Amino acid sequence: MPVLEATVDRAAAVALTNVSKTYGRPRRAVTALDAVTIGFARGAFTAVMGPSGSGKSTLLHCAAGLDRATSGAVHLDGQDIGGLDEKQLAMLRRDRIGFIFQAFNLLPALTVTQNVLLPLELAGRRPDRGRLSEILHRVSLGERGRHRPAELSGGQQQRVAIARALITEPAVVFADEPTGALDTRTARDVLTLLRETVQDAGQTIVMVTHDPAAASYADRVVFLADGRLAGEIREPTAEAVAEQMTRLGAWADDGRGGVGSRGRR
Amino acid sequence: MIRLAARTLRFRAGGFLAAFLAMLLGAAMVMACGGLMETGVRTSMEAGRLADADVVVTGDPGFDVPNMGYTAVLTERVRVEADLVDSIGAMPGVAEATGRVFDDPAPPGTVDAVVVVAAPDADVDRLHEDIEAALPEGAVAYAGDRRGLAERPEALTGSEALVSLAGVFGAMALMVSLFGVASMLALSVRQRHRELALLRAVGGTPGQVRSLVLGETLILATVAALVAVLPGRWLGAFILQGLIDAEVVTEGVRFHLGWIPTLIAVASALLAALGGAYVAGRRAAGIRPTQALADAGLPERRPIGVGGVLVGVCLLAGGTALAIVTMTALSGLYASATGMPAAVVWAIGLAAISPLLTRPLAAVLQWPLRALTGQPGRLAMLNARASIDRTAAVVAPVVVLCGTATGVLYMQSTDREAALQAYADGLKPDVIVTAEQGVTPELRERISAIPGVSGASDYARSAGYLEQPPEDSYRWDAWSLQGVTPEGIGAIVPITVTHGNVADLHGDAVALNALEAAELGVDVGDSLAVRMGDNRSRDLEVVALFAADDDYDTMVLAADVLAEHTTAGRVTSVLVAADGTVPVDELMAEIANRTAGLSGVAVHDREALFTMFAETQRTQHFATYVIVAMIVAYSAISVVNALASSTVARRREFGLQRLTGSTRAQVLRMLTVEGLLTALIGIILGSLSAGVTTVAFSVGRADTLFPSGSPVVYAAVAGFAVALSLLATLLPGWWATRHRPVQAAAAM
């Protein structure tokens, strides 16, 4: 597929070329992703939006090597991950990728410090104490290293997840509805933190969300509908995002468009 | 990963309780078996009346079975020549050697044992070796804690039983432990699937997740094995005491659990636990990382896979094959050997495919249960059918519990009934007269003369081995030897003579089963060399052949000849058959009357003989109870574990239910009906399994479709299953609903 490859930005941190994903048996297959080609630039904060069932979570799973694409190619940091087996994918994830999920990000048995160091421990790498305290400090959890997740608030737990995602200095951080379970104010803090890691440390972040306010923190928002790309907005505002979402029929009946906004910095 | 495993364990100690208990139980059982095996191998005894001896010499009770490379332990006391007393007494280092006769008079020129006291400066170990080297063939020297064996050689027979029993128990304990641990760990993996998925998502390889489960198990199993040392010792001593009470093992045998069997037990318990962890770890390693991102914490729907059905069908096929072998095997005596495993394998197989059977059974049972329980019943039915996999997970251990316990227990009672029946068929006396001093011809004649007596025969029993002609190598068991008086035999032993004449059964003569004789190629007039119970060989001429079942491996001898080779050395009972003209109790009174002047003579009814016989059967029964107890304990842990964890996991659901208007009592009532339903389905499937295998057993063992046994056993097993299910639902249910519903609904 030389023609298609040419259309992808090979310098991107993550590049999907003609990626399709179908679930179920051949006869009754459900297409979650339909020949999507997209690149996520280095040092950029990209939000992926779309109505429920638009395929945005599937896009994230395929891009992050959590799930395999049915067809097409995924390049992560220039490497084709299509041929990797489960073990290699796991090693790729712990070395090159950081994850932040909506909830249940942390192992309840481990303390904050142990959770943050988990990817290093899985890789058998010796943690750098200075880097650890710097990261904990950056997410304002310097004093909480010995606490267990159950002793933390939801926002604090998400900040631990961010620290864990950043500890390996990954090529890209994937965030799946990272503020979905948080109240507006706490969500704003977490998003600001993510924004800062992009701005200050040049971190690449790809975030899936359905919240226009959250998306407005990104440099660029790409829209998905029915498994296909449905436009993008650079330098988004919450209003512009909400408008596009309405156009995609996301809130045809529940009127969730009116979410709080923020001014661009 | 071991560090992560240790942290997880420390954090969720409670979640691993069931797996820990399973491992502890398995390890303790294996440890106990190790101890029993060592006890059997060493057979160390209290020295008893031989405490003053340094070395004791007695007859060697071991007989090398021809062509077998196997040393059998003979059943009677083996004596030594009295000359040995002097020759040993003359040896250097011996202060004194005396001949000793214990309870029964020894034949002239022999003693039961030679008691040796070492000279004050002699090294006893050295002396023991010297004496052993100087002994003639057929004598052995014991020292230390084996001296007691000279007085009670039957302890060696018990030890033999002990070693094989310990081997069978140990193997079963390891197997059940492996499956038990695997199922508990599988549940703990299922409960933590999101955590494990998260581990995979942030970069844990499948291998690392597997080693996490292995690491947890290794830590847990090591602790369990160490903790099990003491309970294992107690359990072993307890089982030994049970076997002593059942007279399988001789009183005075000491329990021994040295460090070598302990180490072996620890190692095998660890291996079994790791085997279980390997199974559970494979499942854990297969968890997809995307499951961590699933939004709700609900357990994933896990319909039974093709693999599960395949395993279940294979087990059922294997169990059916075993049942068919049980049903058609040549000898009913060995039915237990395949019948009991058939019950276990069938129950496990049915449990494996129970997810397929739970749904239709629940559909059928909903009508009666709904009718009986009203509104909470309706909700319970909806719940049970909506989450049929959860119900099935609990049904499986109930199936194993009911299927094995009922099957094994009824097989045992059927077996006992059949054995008693066979014994009763093989012996027809109505009255038994015992004479401590020995039966005299005069006593027998006096009894024969009583009106109403159709015949009276001396009776002695022993066991021996055939030396000539050589037998096929399949026979491990001894021949049963019965001693009778030829004149009275017709009235006592129901045999039909096909060749020769039993009236010739005097002196060195023998009668045997015509089928066995044909197999051996001997006929009337041929000679047999038999190794008698006292390790002396005797040539016997075949004088008669009789028709009997092919497993009637009995040689009939003259009672006085057989008695010469027994420990007692004399015949002590007379079997009396009535001719039916006088009622048996009147006949007994008359016999008692006519023998009143003789000391040591007592009159018993037929039951006494059966009681004596039933006692000799207790070995197997005690063993069966221990096996059943173990299976019940494992299943109970599984049931409680599965039910309790699923109930606690439903906290939120109960909270929502109460928010929408249910009272706490209604929630608990609903849980009661769910528990009942689960228990009922399990009992139905378990009974199916037990029914199939027990009927097969009954056909094979007793040629009847109907197993024997008390219905109380079934009621007890079913009642236990119901009580267990209810307890394991209601207690955690009560705990899970102790908070206000708002808190519960908001949790998670």
Mark yes or no for CB contact A95/B297 under 8 Å: no
Quote the CA–CA distance of B347 and B275 in Å, as a whole number: 21
Point out the residue among A102, A118, A176 whose CB comes nearest to the CB of B202. A118
- 3-state SS, residue B553: coil
- With beta carbons under 8 A apart, name residues in chain A contacting B202: 93-94, 99, 118-119, 122, 164
Point out the residue among A94, A104, A110 whose CB comes nearest to the CB of B203. A94
Mark yes or no for CB contact B202/A93 under 8 Å: yes
Decide if B6 touches A, using CB distance below 8 A. Answer: no
Spatial CA neighbour of A93 closest among B536, B290, B412: B290
Tokens representing B165? Answer: 């029993």
Cα diameter, chain B: 98
Point out the residue among A94, A164, A176 whose CB comes nearest to the CB of B293. A176
Using an 8 Å Cβ cutoff, are B109 and B82 in contact? yes
B99: which strand partners? B114
Shortest Cα distance, chain A CAs vs residue B204, angstroms: 6
- With beta carbons under 8 A apart, name residues in chain B contacting A87: 205-207
> In one letter, which amino acid is B202?
V
Mark yes or no for CB contact A91/B12 under 8 Å: no
Shortest Cα distance, chain A CAs vs residue B392, angstroms: 26
Mark yes or no for CB contact B12/A123 under 8 Å: no
Backbone angles phi, psi at B131, to 5 degrees: -65, -45
| ipTM value | 0.83
Spatial CA neighbour of A32 closest among A41, A40, A23, A24: A23
Mutate to test the interface with B, among A66, A95, A157 (most CBs of B within 10 A): A66
Helices B306-328 and B335-352: crossing angle in degrees, nearest 10, is 160
Q: What percent of chain A has pLDDT over 90?
A: 15
Point out the residue among A57, A90, A104 whose CB comes nearest to the CB of B205. A90
Point out the residue among A61, A97, A114 whose CB comes nearest to the CB of B7. A114
Decide if B8 touches A, using CB distance below 8 A. Answer: yes
Tokens representing B542? Answer: 């075949």
Residue B299's pLDDT is 42
> In one letter, which amino acid is B196?
L
Shortest Cα distance, chain B CAs vs residue A5, angstroms: 28
Q: Say if residue A254's pLDDT is above 50.
A: no
Mark yes or no for CB contact B293/A101 under 8 Å: yes
Instruction: Spell out the residues 6+ positions from residue B10 whose beta carbon is closer than 8 angstroms to its own.
Output: A109
Residue B372's pLDDT is 75
Tokens representing A71? Answer: 């067809």
pLDDT digit string (tens) for A220-233? Answer: 999 988 888 888 88
Mark yes or no for CB contact A102/B10 under 8 Å: no
Q: How many CB atoms lie within 10 A of CB B436?
A: 12
Shortest Cα distance, chain A CAs vs residue B188, angstroms: 14
Using an 8 Å Cβ cutoff, are B340 and B370 in contact? no
Mark yes or no for CB contact A61/B293 under 8 Å: yes
- With beta carbons under 8 A apart, name residues in chain A contacting B192: none
A116: which strand partners? none
Mark yes or no for CB contact B12/A90 under 8 Å: no
Mark yes or no for CB contact A94/B10 under 8 Å: no
Shortest Cα distance, chain A CAs vs residue B377, angstroms: 35
Point out the residue among B11, B205, B290 whose CB comes nearest to the CB of A109. B11
Cα diameter, chain A: 55
Quote the CA–CA distance of B723 and B746 in Å, as a whole number: 32
- With beta carbons under 8 A apart, name residues in chain A contacting B208: 90, 122
Shortest Cα distance, chain B CAs vs residue A10, angstroms: 25
Instruction: Spell out the residues 6+ positions from residue B716 whose beta carbon is closer than 8 angstroms to its own.
Output: none
B140: which strand partners? B58
Mutate to test the interface with A, among B205, B209, B212, B213 (most CBs of A within 10 A): B205
A80: which strand partners? A75
Point out the residue among B10, B12, B203 whose CB comes nearest to the CB of A93. B203
Quote the CA–CA distance of B606 and B429 in Å, as a whole number: 7
The CA-atom distances, in angstroms, between B429 and each of B324, B494, B583 are 36, 10, 14
Spatial CA neighbour of B347 closest among B634, B626, B16: B634
Point out the residue among A95, A105, A109 whose CB comes nearest to the CB of B12. A109
Point out the residue among A105, A108, A122 whose CB comes nearest to the CB of B204. A122
* Residue indicated by tokens 């083996």: B78
Quote the CA–CA distance of B131 and B142 in Å, as a whole number: 10
> Across all residues in chain A, what is the average pLDDT?
83
Residue A128's pLDDT is 84
Contacts by A39-42, CB closer than 8 A, 24 or more apart: A39/A8, A39/A9, A39/A12, A39/A14, A39/A15, A40/A12, A40/A13, A40/A14, A40/A15, A40/A172, A40/A204, A40/A206, A41/A9, A41/A11, A41/A12, A41/A13, A41/A204, A41/A220, A42/A11, A42/A12, A42/A13, A42/A202, A42/A204
The segments of chain B whose pLDDT lies below 50 read 295-301, 473, 747-748
**Helices (H) then strands (E): counts for chain A:** 9, 10
Q: Say if residue A260's pLDDT is above 50.
A: no
Using an 8 Å Cβ cutoff, are A48 and A224 in contact? yes
Q: Say if residue A4's pLDDT is above 50.
A: no
Mark yes or no for CB contact A107/B200 under 8 Å: no
Write out residues 297-326 of B within 8 Å (CB-CB) of A: 297
Residue B370's pLDDT is 76
Residue A1's pLDDT is 40
Mark yes or no for CB contact A66/B290 under 8 Å: yes
Residue A8's pLDDT is 52
Mark yes or no for CB contact A164/B201 under 8 Å: no
Residue B742's pLDDT is 66
- 3-state SS, residue B511: strand
Mark yes or no for CB contact B203/A95 under 8 Å: yes
Total-model pTM? 0.73
Q: What is the CA radius of gyration of chain A?
A: 18
Instruction: Spell out the residues 6+ positions from residue B482 whose beta carbon is closer than 8 angstroms to its own.
Output: B459, B460, B461, B493, B554, B555, B556, B557, B562
Q: Which residue of A has its CA nearest to B292?
A: A104
Mark yes or no for CB contact B202/A164 under 8 Å: yes
- With beta carbons under 8 A apart, name residues in chain B contacting A58: none
Backbone angles phi, psi at B138, to 5 degrees: 90, 5
* Residue indicated by tokens 């055939």: B466
* Residue indicated by tokens 């009670």: B152
